[in-house]
A and B are shown apart, each in its own frame.
Chain A
């Protein structure tokens, strides 16, 4: 069973870049089974799909100009970068695996709260 753990700053200033890393254990990020995903939940709101990466990245159109996801095979990690953040980006961010890329999200990290504030 793949296990995932998010890491990164819990506080980011407005206009700066939010950067989070997901460390994968119990499996290889080079496995062809998974689309490596990021999902967030605004306080008191529902889940929002941010994007995933397989050979290339696929992103939520509402975030597309600000978001990128990358993979570091040497560290068995994948990362999220979200630029020009505002208070509206305050959320719990989850890394996850989507088996096959068809919305079968079968492994989740515990989530990490990122607050955007000066």
Chain B
């Protein structure tokens, strides 16, 4: 089960916007609206930020938004803040490979 490709790193300055991509296939990202995004600070539990492509759990800032086009999902963070720095992972439901869930490889966000 291969991880969904994500850029290894992205960076931005406070107040700017950044977008992280998550590329899949028609068997996962492109075929279902079951893409989630997680924020992970080292040593802490990952936190669900977006589910079902563009839905925010209660308590998640509206600076975080999700979208999908074809086989690529994206997470956009607007108005970057220093506390946004960390690792971000996508996940998707998948009908391939015999396992229903696959994670992305992760993207390290640096807020300069």
Contact = CB atoms under 8 A, between A and B. Distances in A.
Interface of A: 37, 39, 46-49, 51-52, 58-62, 64, 94, 98-99, 101-106, 108-111
A48 B103 contact: yes
B48 A106 contact: yes
B45 A46 contact: no
B104 A49 contact: no
B3 interface: yes
Contacts of A62: 1
Contacts of B106: 46-47
B48, B92, B99, B102: residue with the most chain A Cβ atoms closer than 10 Å:
B99
Contacts, number: 79
Interface residues of B, number: 30
Interface in B46-60: 46-48, 51-52, 57
A48 B99 CA distance: 12
A61 B1 contact: yes
A54 to B, nearest CB: 10
